[in-house]
Structure formats: C-alpha cells, structure tokens
Amino acid sequence: MEAAEAMEKVGNWLRAVHGPTVAGPGGLRVDHDRVLRVPEGWSIPYNTVAFLDDGRPDKELFPPPSVVVREPDGELRQAHPNPGGLSTPVAYPGQESWREVVDPEYVKAGLGELGVPLPAVAGWVKVDNDGQQTGEERENPEYRAGPIRRGYPKPENLLETLLAFASVGWLSREQLLIGLLRCEVFVPLDVETGSTDRFYFSEDRNELRVFSSTRNLPAREHAWWQVDLATLAEFEHPPNLVINGGPATFEDVTGDELADAAKRFPRHDARIDRHGRSPEAEQELAQLAADTATRMGLAAPVELPRTAAERARRNGFELTAEECRKTVLGQSWLRRLEQPEPPRSKPNDLGANGLAPSWDNEGRIVPRLDTFGKYPLPDLENFRYGWQRVVGAYVGFALGEALGTAVDRLRLDEIVARFGPDGVTGLPIAFDQPGRIGSLTQRMLFYTEAVIRSPHREQPESRDVEQLFPGVVRGALLRWLHTQGAPLDNTDGWLVQVPDLRIRRGADDAELNAYHALVTRAPQATAMTGPTALLGALPAVLTAAGPGTGFSGGIRQVVRDLVTVTHRQEEDLAAATYLSWLFEHALTKDSFSYPVWNLSREVLEEHPESGPEWAAVQAMVNESVPFFGEHGLPDLRMPELIGDGQSTLAVLGRAFAALSGFENYPEQALLRGVNHSGRSALTGALTGALLGARVGMPGLPAKWVEQLELHHLIEQLATDALWHFDRRSALHQLGTTWTERYPRH
C-alpha cells in the first residue's frame, strides 16, 4: 500500500465520522507533511484545518492525533497518544464497536510501535456509542497465552521480552527484527586486555555470540562490551548474531537481515557503546579488601570474590555490588577469626558483615560466609539436581507453611473476616511472631535427616541394608517427638541438639501421641490418613541425586518405606509417589525447569500407572491444572474450587492450582496457596516448595525470606542432603566428621 492510498482511507474515515463539512474551516484533514512509515503500517496524522492551513496555534489538537493504517489488511486504528502505547480500532458511526482485550503482558511491554498482534488479543468486548461495555463478549480463538503466564523465565529487559514474545508466536520475524534494533547486548571481554575471545567471535563465519544481560554471561567472564544492535547493523560487515536471552530463549539473527531492518526503521534512541566490569571485578573492591585487612590486622587482603561470582552465575544468579562488598567483609572476618592470637569474637551482626549462621556437630552456631542463597559453600557437582533448586524447594516449603499457619483449617469467609477482603497479604503472626516455622517444616527436616542417615548410601543396591530404612525413619521421628517434649534416651546427631527446634509448633497432643504410637509400634497404633503423607516426597527424591545412590526399587520404594511408617492408604501413597516424581523433574540441574502445568502431565505420561488411586491422581491433575499449550483462553483454576481442601489429593491439587500460571509472580502464587478453606499451611508449603524449585531462594520474596525463622539452618540441611548423595559425597570427603554429624542408625 502506498502512502496516498493510506491517506485516502483516513480522509474517508474523517468524513464518515464528522460529515461532509469536515473539509471546511472548522473541520479536520490529514497532515500530509507528517505521514510516516511505521512498523504497523502507515502513520497518518490529522489536525484542524484552521491549524494546518491557517496557522492558528489556538486551534491545534494536542497531542496531535494519528490514525495507523495497517498493512496489509488496511485496518484503521487510532494511535495511542503516548510512546509505547497500543493503537485501537477506530469506530464508525452506526456500526458495532468492539474493544480489544489485549493480554496484560503485551500491554505492559510498551511495544505499541510494533502493533497489536492478533495472538496477543484475548478477545473483544462490545461497547456502545458512549464507550460503555454492553456485556457482550467474543473470545479470540487465535489467542495464545503469553510467555510469563506460561512459566518462561521472567524477562529482565526489552531484548528478553522480545525473544520470549517471538517464541510463543506473538511477534513476526519482521516485528522481532525491528524491536531488536531498540535493544542492547553484552559481549564478553577479557578483564585485563579488553579484547573479545575467539570463542565469542568467529572471523570465518563473521559470527558474534552476544548475551542479553550480564547475568547470562558465561561464569568465567567478568568484563563486557555493551552495544546496541543498531550500531552493529551499521558495521561494514554486520556480524551474524547468536543471541543468548537466558535459560529458555536463544535466537540466530543474520547481519544482513538486521542491516535491512535498520535501513527501513532506523533507531532514534541514543546509541550505547561502552565497556564495563561486573561488580566482583571492580577496582573499588580491591581498595575495600586492603582497607579491611589494615583495620583487622590481617597480613594481607583477601582476594576479590570472582570465584564466588562465577559459582553464583553457574546457578543462574548474579552477585550484586553490595553482595560482593559483603563477601569481602565476610572473608576478612573469617580470616581474622582463624587467627589464634589474640582471641577474636564474632561480630554481633553477622549479616551486615557478610556472615551467616551455620550449625556444628553439637548443634551450636558458628559463623560462615554468607552466599545469599546463590551458591553452596561445598563444591558440589550437581550430578542430577541443581543445588539452588533443592535449597529453594526447602526454604519455599517453610515459607509457605509460615504464610498459611495463621489461617490453617479456616474457611475462606473466616480468613476474609479476619484479614480483610484480600485475605492474607503478608507474613501473619503465627505462634508469637511472623515467620515462625511450623511442625510440618520440623518434620520435613527430620525426614531429611533420615534419608541422609540411611545406611544404603555405603552399600548401594543392597536389599538387606535397604530394609533398615523404615527403622531409620522411626528414629528420626522419635528425635522430632523428643524436640516436642517426648522422652528419648541416647539422642544423637546435630539436628536434635538445635535449641530453636525444641519448641512445639502447631502439633497438638493427640497428633503427637498418634505419631509416638506408630513409630514405637504400640499395639493401639492406628495408621494415619491424609495429606501429611506428602511430607515424604521431597526428602525421598534426594536419594536419587547421585549416580547409583538410590534404592533398588527407585524413588517409589523410598517414598513407600518412608511414608508407610505413618500412612498406609494407597491413595496417600500414590499421591506422595507422584509428587516425588514431579520433584525429580522440577529439581533438575538444567538451567530451565519446566512449570507445573507442563510437568504434572508429563509425569503421568512417563509413569502410566493403573488402579483407582492413580485414576484419582489423573482426575486431580485434570481438575486443578490449566493447559497453556493451545490456542484460546486458558482456564486459570481457583484453589478454593479444587476438592474439599482436606484430603491428600485436594491439598496437592490446590497447590497446583495456586502455582500454575503464577510461576513468575511469587507473592501471588504463595498467597493463592494459603487464601482458601482447608489445609492452608500444607497447601502453602507445597506451593512454596514447587515455586522455590523453579526460582531458587533468591527468587522467593526477599522480604519474607528475611523474616523466616531458621532459613539458614534449612539451607544448610538441604545442602547437606544434596552433598551426601552427590558424586563427590561428603560421606567420603569428611569421613568420621560426617558420620558423627549423621550417625548410621
């Protein structure tokens, strides 16, 4: 379509709206001098005749309105007055008017220049002549849920947003190329020489590997060149780009197609072309290390935290400048505390000095370097699972329970009456203050101690040794009961000696007596039923973290041996087994972990089980988990409407419903997991565990994690469990020190 045809279409529309007098002195006409070619089509501005022809500034329409004539269909759309805003279909007198309902992800992205793609339009609502909705709606069968809702990693910048939108079919190739010209990339540089390694630039192929953010740079790189893609497109020989946009988005772009797009739609933003260093390599840190060494009387300053930053980046995180500063302080403090003379005391505020609490074999607190939940202190191989996912799952579990304890077993209307129309909106007071861990987390910790103390680790695939595991589980539960006040002779291990765990949190006398009867095999003991059977899933799956470290019967056997100490109903066992298989995928060491809506179905396909208990699991997934892989509106599920909120499958289903579609909205997901009738504490805990497995501890709401009691202890135990089953196991590296920490009985 030529500009003249587009202007004629807009002129016809102005006459249709304003009548035949539109061309008179008081009318409107197209501003021919300001017609522009834009990515969506032609931008045709218009204004008053009095302003355009007579030069009367008092008659100017401001901001100047514009109509976009789309190509190739010729649709007329009113341009948004603000940059980045979305155009909307124009209205004609006497004709039905339908307003687009555009996906909020696309609206917030500020990509109005690229137009409104049909797959990003959820549907339309009919409006009357006054612009009021009539109540009539139409769904768009071509709509596709956006990447954030689907569970893709949340974009950090415009480049990652464009790549994600293109990957779900929201943007055409041309729209993507035009958008890329507004973006910047990072090219790794040698921190000393400032040159780009041949690994990132192939002269033979004229190929340049670039990255969307410093967080996505390879772990070993500490300096970078930041440059906008329009500048690269203007090189004499524009490089072919291999764009790394994060764990789930990669794109190849040829230099020729980028240069062609730049000629047609040049960049108007300021150009970016600068070199920089990552926080761990900044010169100011070296000065801080030197000054701290002088102040503390150290013989030499500590090294810059490049290794710490590399390890964090391998886990998908980036140390901030403040975290690098604290790492220097923490390393300096630890070196000072190692000096024999004169005796040194640890700082009163560990966190402010780059330290965190850890617990020794006697259950006493000793300071360690704070890693901010971004990398482990032991050098783990992560043979099968990612450390950050395991720790995230454990901390997320405790956080979810802390959110839900205050409203556990309340009806939704009671929650609303107590906390307001939005229910729980932050960590409520439970027990005596916000963030207290509950009995579910306590039991999870002792179940985890049980899998570490299982003797099968020394004798893999020995069925005789495996048969000892239920007794190990009983011992762990007896130690938990001891922390709740039950008598027990000959306690051992470090966990039972931690004073902060010797506090009763939520378990009443009846529940404690029932547990005691079961683990001691009292004649009057009756097996439990219900959702606490699910507590065994996460600890059980860790037994398969290393090569040959699991039971001969796999995770299913571990779950059954652990859970049947207290629960023996087949539906409970099936649900716990299914959850463990899901964790097996969610805890992957890969850079991307698929969301629950995807994994929940994949697990059922991988493990085709029969029987009424498995039919019930399948029905729960169908009821509670939306599917985002099809066209059309997905049916987001409300936790309150899933089951009765009390049974095992209802609790698990409500956790799935709370999280599915909200993986990139951690606060919302966690609050959805507790604001419903029924077992809010356990539902919240499972929601938090599945969420934490995807985002790690740094991806959980920091303001809540900071308030969470014993989150450093939880991190330490989860790390111990993964280390124990890793290829380079602590059992073999530490010997008797480890077996004293986790005795083998």
Report the b/e string of 284-309 with b at 16+ CB within 10 A.
ebeebbeebbeebebeebbebbbebb
Cα separations in angstroms, 491 against 109, 318, 358, 431, 745? 58, 41, 21, 27, 11
At 469-528, the pLDDT tens digits run 999 999 999 999 999 999 999 899 999 999 999 998 888 899 999 999 999 999 989 999
The answer to whether residue 191 scores a pLDDT higher than 90 is no
The answer to whether residue 20 scores a pLDDT higher than 80 is no
At 40-78, the pLDDT tens digits run 999 999 999 999 988 889 889 988 899 999 988 999 999
How many CB atoms are located within 10 Å of the residue 606 CB? 11
pLDDT at 93: 82
pLDDT at 156: 94
More confident residue, 651 or 95: 651
- What mean pLDDT, rounded, does the chain reach? 94
Residue 278's SS3 state is coil
Q: How confident is the model at residue 460 (pLDDT cuts 50, 70, 90)?
A: low
φ, ψ of residue 70 in degrees (nearest 5): -70, 150
Percent of the chain with pLDDT over 90: 86
Please give the structure tokens belonging to residue 723.
Answer: 């280390």
Residue 566's SS3 state is coil
DSSP string, 617-671: HHHHHHHH----SSSS---PPPGGGSTTSSSHHHHHHHHHHHHTT-TT-HHHHHH
Name which of 434, 439, 468 is nearest 451 in CA terms. 468
CA angle 65, 69, 72 (to 5 degrees): 165
On the 0-12 / 13-18 / 19+ scale of CB atoms within 10 A, 129 is exposed
At 697-742, the pLDDT tens digits run 999 999 999 999 999 999 999 999 999 999 999 999 999 999 999 9
Q: How far apart are CA 257 and CA 250, in angstroms?
A: 17
Q: Which residues contact 473 (CB under 8 A, 6 or more apart)?
A: 447, 450, 561, 562, 565
Please give the structure tokens belonging to residue 269.
Answer: 């933003």
**For the chain, how long is the longest CA-to-CA vector?**
102
Tell me if 698 sits within 8 A of 398, measured CB to CB. no
Percent of the chain with pLDDT over 70: 99
Pairing status of strand 207-211 against strand 240-244: parallel
Residues recorded for the chain = 745
Domain extents in the chain: 3-140, 149-277, 284-369, 387-741
Name which of 380, 374, 409, 418 is nearest 395 in CA terms. 374
Which H/E stretch holds residue 720?
helix 711-725
Which amino acid is it at 720?
D
Tell me if 640 sits within 8 A of 680, measured CB to CB. no
What mean pLDDT is predicted for residues 212-231? 96
Q: How far apart are CA 667 and CA 615, in angstroms?
A: 32
Q: How confident is the model at residue 286 (pLDDT cuts 50, 70, 90)?
A: very high
What mean pLDDT is predicted for residues 662-675? 97
Least confident residue range of 50-59, 213-222, 436-445: 50-59
The answer to whether residue 411 scores a pLDDT higher than 90 is yes
Sole residue written with tokens 């699910």: 534
The answer to whether residue 19 scores a pLDDT higher than 90 is no
Residue 355's SS3 state is strand
Answer positive or negative: Cα dihedral of 513, 518, 523, 525: positive
pLDDT at 343: 65
Q: How far apart are CA 667 and CA 79, in angstroms?
A: 35
CATH topology of domain 387-741: ADP-ribosylglycohydrolase fold (1.10.4080)
pLDDT at 583: 98
pLDDT at 633: 87
At 131-169, the pLDDT tens digits run 788 889 999 999 999 999 999 999 999 999 999 999 999
Tell me if 99 sits within 8 A of 91, measured CB to CB. no
Name which of 406, 200, 187 is nearest 276 in CA terms. 187
At 330-349, the pLDDT tens digits run 999 999 998 877 667 889 99
Sole residue written with tokens 């021919």: 32
Residue 431 DSSP label: T
Cα separations in angstroms, 242 against 179, 383, 667? 16, 28, 34
Q: How far apart are CA 65 and CA 81, in angstroms?
A: 7
The answer to whether residue 461 scores a pLDDT higher than 70 is no
pLDDT at 614: 97
On the 0-12 / 13-18 / 19+ scale of CB atoms within 10 A, 396 is buried
Tell me if 649 sits within 8 A of 569, measured CB to CB. no
Q: How far apart are CA 468 and CA 453, in angstroms?
A: 11
Cα separations in angstroms, 513 against 529, 530, 682? 15, 17, 20
Q: How far apart are CA 189 and CA 522, in angstroms?
A: 68
Cα separations in angstroms, 698 against 474, 620, 727? 34, 31, 26
More confident residue, 23 or 241: 241
pLDDT at 94: 79
What value does the CA radius of gyration of the chain take, rounded to a whole number of Å? 30
The answer to whether residue 317 scores a pLDDT higher than 90 is yes
Q: How many CA atoms lie within 13 A of 371 on its CB side?
A: 28
What mean pLDDT is predicted for residues 401-420? 97
What mean pLDDT is predicted for residues 185-211? 91
What mean pLDDT is predicted for residues 94-120? 93
How many CB atoms are located within 10 Å of the residue 226 CB? 16
Tell me if 384 sits within 8 A of 721, measured CB to CB. no
